[in-house]
């Protein structure tokens, strides 16, 4: 039995859920496995929370929130780590997102004199979008405003990555909708 408390780091110190326990166990198996080429980096990987999102009636996605301090390590091995975790969790896509702090307009009450631009809602949502698509590059963004005032964000991805992430386009849209409550469509240019 592994000690999940060393892998799962929660802000409030609560106990990990069963899904977080399963993800921590899978990460431990990847770290101790013989065939893994990312063993050295895996010891620094921590998770903050895990959520499951229904993409369609037959498909689900696992969102793994990583504390921002260990995000640089996860970003280096994100493609390989995602592939390994998708092998462990059959029929589920895995998406990594960094836990970022967002400050609203009353930030002076919290003791912060000047709100950093990286902590605004717009920048945090843009960074989440970059995290969700992972190793794929975003080559364009368009906002389509309907007659009724509804907005649809069209995200154009690099066509050279079409073969590795074409089946994940609906997953990306569902995860971004769950995190930001914004309608998106992911396309290839």
- How far CA 101 is from CA of 51, 52, 68, 76, 116, in Å, comes to 18, 21, 9, 22, 11
* pLDDT of the residue at 7: 80
* pLDDT of the residue at 59: 86
CA-CA distance, 139 to 80, in Å (whole number)? 23
Per the model's pLDDT, the better-predicted residue between 37 and 97 turns out to be 97
* pLDDT of the residue at 40: 76
pLDDT band at 20 (very low <50, low <70, confident <90, very high): confident
Instruction: Name the burial class of residue 75, with classes exposed (0-12), middle (13-18) and buried (19+) by CB atoms within 10 angstroms of its CB.
Output: middle
CA-CA distance, 52 to 153, in Å (whole number)? 23
- Write out the E strands in 70-168: 92-99, 138-145, 151-157
Extents of the domains making up the chain: 1-99
Per-residue pLDDT reduced to its tens digit, 43-52: 888 888 999 9
The superfamily (CATH) of domain 1-99 is: K homology (KH) domain (3.30.300.20)
* pLDDT of the residue at 36: 64
CA-CA distance, 104 to 179, in Å (whole number)? 17
pTM (whole model) above 0.75: yes
* pLDDT of the residue at 98: 93
Q: What is the mean pLDDT of residues 15-28?
A: 87
* pLDDT of the residue at 13: 76
* pLDDT of the residue at 4: 63
């Amino acid at each position: 039995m592994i000690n999940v408390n060393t892998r799962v780091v929660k802000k409030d110190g609560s106990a990990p859920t069963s899904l977080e326990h399963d993800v921590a166990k899978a990460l431990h198996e990847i770290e101790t496995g013989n065939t893994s080429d990312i063993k050295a980096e895996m010891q620094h990987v921590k998770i903050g929370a895990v959520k499951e999102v229904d993409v369609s009636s037959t498909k689900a996605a696992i969102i793994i929130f990583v504390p921002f301090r260990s995000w640089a390590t996860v970003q280096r091995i994100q493609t390989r780590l995602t592939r390994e975790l998708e092998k462990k969790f059959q029929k589920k896509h895995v998406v990594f997102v960094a836990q970022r702090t967002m400050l609203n307009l009353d930030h002076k009450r919290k003791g912060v004199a000047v709100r950093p631009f990286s902590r605004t809602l717009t920048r945090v949502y843009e960074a989440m979008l970059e995290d969700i698509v992972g190793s794929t590059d975003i080559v364009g963004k368009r906002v389509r405003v309907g007659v009724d005032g509804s907005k649809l964000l069209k995200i154009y991805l690099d066509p050279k990555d079409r073969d590795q992430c074409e089946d994940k386009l609906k997953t990306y849209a569902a995860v971004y909708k769950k995190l930001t409550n914004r309608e998106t469509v992911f396309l290839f240019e």
